[in-house]
Structure 1
Amino acid sequence: MRIVVERGKNKAVYLQIYEQIRQQILSGELIPGHQLPPERKLAESLGVNRTTVLNAYRELKAEGLIGSQIGKGTLVLSYPNGELSDNPILEEPVWDHTFSQYSNHFDPNMLKELLAIANRKDIISFATGIASPESGPLQIFKGIEAELMSQDSYHALLHSPTEGFSSFREAVCQLMYKRGVYCHFEETMILSGSQQGIDLVARALLDPGDIVIVEEPSFFPAIQVFKGLGARVMGVPMDEKGMRLDVLEQILQRYKPKLIYTIPNYQNPSGLEMVLERRKGLFELSQQYKVFIMEDDAYGALSYEGKPLPLIKSMDNEGYVIYLSTFSKIVYPGLRLGWMVAHKKVIQKCSALKQVIDIHPNSLSQWIIERFIRTGDLDQHIIQICKEYKQKRDAMYQALLKYAPYDLKWNNPKGGYYIWCKLPEGVLASKLVLKAAEYKVAFVPGSTFFTSGEGESYIRLNFTFASIVEIEEGISRLCKAIKEIKDSGDSQENNKYTEIKPIV
């Protein structure tokens, strides 16, 4: 519906609105059942008072051209020949039967709500897996962008190859050399975030009914991707050393899965680091049973203690390991740049799939990050944020020691973004998330990360996003919420609070 208001015209504004809507109804441009905008919304869009729109609608109703229905708002009632219809023919689609089975596998609300929480100033958020916004190399990026633009060159704003610019892929190879993986740029592919890599690999490898193995718990968007493609997702429990290979081998023998998805470095959500023995054992099992490994390494560069362990990809010469990583966790999440290292045939297949999704990753971001890598500024930036994030991790750890009830348990991750907590017996994460919201603090309940719907006894806390001051205040509020649930009678545990040694 198009309406143009002329302020200097010798005709009242409400009459201008009335006449234009009337003409569009009588000409058939607005057909019976068309829903007109609410008065307030139309008034805001036209920059007029709501009463002005209300008066226009009253004129149209008096002429019998529009009417109101409960639950449907203001609707067009008249046909172009002037006959009235009290039963408008337009109805919303039957949404439950409209969308594909594939799309119905996804819950869009979790990630959307987490991102919305991160932008709320009144809530202390431990929910989002987002880098500290104050820690990004903003001034360096401004300088690189200004340099690119000052060259009067439009090349930085043109299309790139689907796999990314060759020079950027070569720079990524330099990063991989430092991580112990020696690859050619043709074995790399730039992604619009590493999560796109999960989707592309899943589409390239999986058919409905194929079995995918994940750690239990695991990264919930990956679980959604696998289930969305019709795969059967099976979880393997973890202990303090990582995925339990004894359970994994039983599944490999019985079910012949197509893919194993793992986050060996500072796992999301548990923060665990898979020990070297398990990494070797996992790779050997993949070779023995001819099953692909997707190694998701979003957090490997964020190591706060000791030396990083070898990547599983560094053990692979045959092409069974597909490696994913991202710049979102170490620079800015809005860059939406990640990368894949895999056998050339996997890269070729994923490139063909990517062409029908978004053609190629952001060109300007590629140029900026390539400069950031080649100047050595990325290495210095990682050193700096590791110092900062270690301080934040320690601040959260100490705050838990200070405020937590005696039967709340948690770990002390050597790197990454997250502390994984086990709630006191009888305190459910689904109840706690509501109570914590009353205290203006947010986290992610553990059930999100389990394939079986378990995890009500766990919560994930992010320590990178909030400030150190907010971390202590937020943990204090969270622990008050836990104690309130315990004291309310929802939990049968007695109210004795003493310090215990956190879980490993």
Structure 2
Amino acid sequence: MHIELKRGSRTKLYIQIALTLADRIRSGLIEPGTRLPSVRKLTSDLGVSLVTVSKAYAELEAIQLITCSQGKGCYVRGVQESERSGNIDKMYPVQGNGEKNTPWNWQMALVDYLPRAQLWRHFDTSPQVRYELHMSAIQPELLPTREIIESAYRLSSDHPERMAAYGSFQGDRELRQTFADHFAERGSQVMPERMLITSGTQQGIDLVARTFVGPGDVVYMEAPTYTGAIDVFTSRGAKIITVPMDDEGMRIDLLTRLCDTHPPKLIYTIPTFHNPTGITMSAQRRAQLLNLAQSYHCLILEDDPFSDLYFRAPPPASIKSMDLTGHVVYLKTFSKVLSPGCRVACAIADGSVLTRLVAAKSTADLGSPLLTQKALQSFIQHQYSAYIRQLRDELYTRLSAASAVLEAHAPPGMFWVLPDGGLNLWLQLPDGIDMRELHRHALAAGVSFLPGSACYVGEPDTSNLRICFTVTDMERLCEGLRVLCNVIANEAPLKGGAAADRLPLI
């Protein structure tokens, strides 16, 4: 495996090794039951001392990620899901040294460059989960799937030539014009020539990272933040520095001090209905962040998945709408609120930044599928405005229901703040809860959530979790929250406690 050591860093080498291995274990890239390289082997591979590797393994054992025994080596703790449910144990019995003798053991010798990949790990759940609250998505029954399918069928039947031709690398011109009209209705003037259609926001983040971020480049992010973005920037070898948040978003005062010591290459932010916290950055902070980027000649990557899903008043204008000098790359997804399977989003950028992103897109996939672009274009042009108003009402109804259940069943010491829009609730749990045990017991009870640790760089122990109040129907949402509150109460039966800190419903 590839472990990149920064020998001039203030972080000790054994900590760097331990952190890298911890990321890979938690991401599932090193599977439970896998035997880690011997101390001597890893010492030779990395060019460090035996003591350094021994201390790294001791750190991993202390946080219960691995178990080591004299003469047998160190193994990743836990049992694979596939081993619990299949016949692997019978097919490939464990050897005397405790290692499973499977025909793919040799693969551990293959070097890969994925230091972390949490997104896929928390995307799906096991069949035992009845209440899926972990994934930030909208219940499929609320989406205009039938209309989009009918549109795609008409397009493919009436214009079969579209299935036999490549689309533009930059994206369908008609769709980009429709997006331009969409933004103009919201007070932002954007020409179609400044847009790039991407296969979802995730590809947009990846294109920006692959184009502009290399090993050692400083990337600032909110803490916590979107798991998939952490994965992308970590895979580029970036030096990620996180900035705490308050109720107005990223702390620009702290960011400014950090930039004096570590000048940024890129700042990643989700300023509107932030994922996972739901916080919206104030207009003043947005302007301050743009000024900071201009002074350091760095990029801001503004990720906007939820701005159309407000419950009362529209959020502040995007940072991109204030950008006159090309410092902001703005990502806007439509697949989240229309059709996740279509994977359609757009990036807005200026000058050579856009040119380079289009070039990166061309090498990634030769352009997004034309049929899905055309199918969504028709719906966005003619039906989107009425649809999104109705969807906002429905999502707010579910937030109200979730709030009522939490008020009635949350144990003492549990806190949350109701967001002004978006899909997620960020819960602060009572002190003293073992989050790994809570996650395990919740899954056993049939309810899933996203552990807060997945939303932090380095995955520290945290007493937060994220639930999505829009991913399932109302009955299962309320039932699942009651089950979750009961599991939390059983994990931390605290005496007393303050009432939940929440904003009034709007």
- 8 Å Cα contact 1:180/1:311 also seen in 2: no
Residue 449 of structure 1 aligns with which residue?
Answer: 455
- Given the superposition, is the C-alpha separation of residues 310 and 113 from structure 1 closer, same or farther in structure 2, using an over 3 Å criterion? closer
Is 2:288 the partner of 1:281?
yes
Residue 168 of structure 1 aligns with which residue?
Answer: 175
For the residues of structure 2 that align with 1:346 and 1:211, how far apart are their CA atoms?
Answer: 18
Deviation per residue, 1:359-390 (Å, 9 max, x gap)? 11121110011111222x01111111111111
Matched position secondary structure for 2:341: helix
Deviation per residue, 1:53-100 (Å, 9 max, x gap)? xxxxxxxxxxxxxxx99659xxxxxxxxxxxxxxxxx96473233132
1:147-166 alignment runs, 5 A limit: 147-156=154-163, 158-166=165-173
Which one of the candidate residues 196, 200, 203 is aligned to 1:193? 200
Which one of the candidate residues 64, 79, 96 is aligned to 2:108? 96
Which one of the candidate residues 253, 265, 268 is aligned to 1:261? 268
What is the letter of the counterpart of residue 120 of structure 2?
L
Identity %: 30
For the residues of structure 1 that align with 2:306 and 2:279, how far apart are their CA atoms?
Answer: 11
Larger Rg: 1
- 8 Å Cα contact 1:399/1:472 also seen in 2: yes
Matched position secondary structure for 1:257: coil
Between 235-244 and 455-464, the greater mean CA deviation after superposition:
455-464
- Which 5+ residue runs of structure 1 have no aligned equivalent? 1-67, 73-89, 488-492
Residue 421 of structure 1 aligns with which residue?
Answer: 427
For the residues of structure 1 that align with 2:335 and 2:91, how far apart are their CA atoms?
Answer: 48
Q: Give RMSD over aligned pairs.
A: 2.2
TM score, norm. by length of structure 2: 0.77
Which one of the candidate residues 446, 458, 474 is aligned to 1:440? 446
Is 2:489 the partner of 1:483?
yes
Residue 61 of structure 1 aligns with which residue?
Answer: none
Is 2:218 the partner of 1:211?
yes
Residue 464 of structure 1 aligns with which residue?
Answer: 470
For the residues of structure 2 that align with 1:161 and 1:320, how far apart are their CA atoms?
Answer: 25
Deviation per residue, 1:258-297 (Å, 9 max, x gap)? 0000000000000101111111111111112222100000
For the residues of structure 1 that align with 2:216 and 2:159, how far apart are their CA atoms?
Answer: 53
Matched position secondary structure for 1:161: coil
| Greater relative contact order, per chain length (Cα 8 Å cut-off, separation 6+) | 2
- 8 Å Cα contact 2:145/2:339 also seen in 1: no
Cα offset for 1:498? 7.0
Residue 151 of structure 2 aligns with which residue?
Answer: 144
What is the letter of the counterpart of residue 419 of structure 1?
L
What is the letter of the counterpart of residue 381 of structure 1?
Y
For the residues of structure 1 that align with 2:220 and 2:497, how far apart are their CA atoms?
Answer: 39
Residue 313 of structure 1 aligns with which residue?
Answer: 320
- Which 5+ residue runs of structure 2 have no aligned equivalent? 1-89, 95-101
Residue 502 of structure 1 aligns with which residue?
Answer: 502
Count of residues in correspondence between the two structures: 409
Matched position secondary structure for 1:334: coil
Residue 107 of structure 1 aligns with which residue?
Answer: 117
For the residues of structure 1 that align with 2:164 and 2:188, how far apart are their CA atoms?
Answer: 31
For the residues of structure 1 that align with 2:386 and 2:366, how far apart are their CA atoms?
Answer: 32
Between 173-182 and 235-244, the greater mean CA deviation after superposition:
173-182
Cα offset for 1:391? 0.8
Cα offset for 1:184? 1.8
Residue 182 of structure 1 aligns with which residue?
Answer: 189
TM score, norm. by length of structure 1: 0.77
Residue 8 of structure 2 aligns with which residue?
Answer: none
For the residues of structure 2 that align with 1:152 and 1:314, how far apart are their CA atoms?
Answer: 36
Matched position secondary structure for 1:154: helix
Deviation per residue, 1:321-358 (Å, 9 max, x gap)? 00001112211111111110001422221222222221
Cα offset for 1:503? 6.9
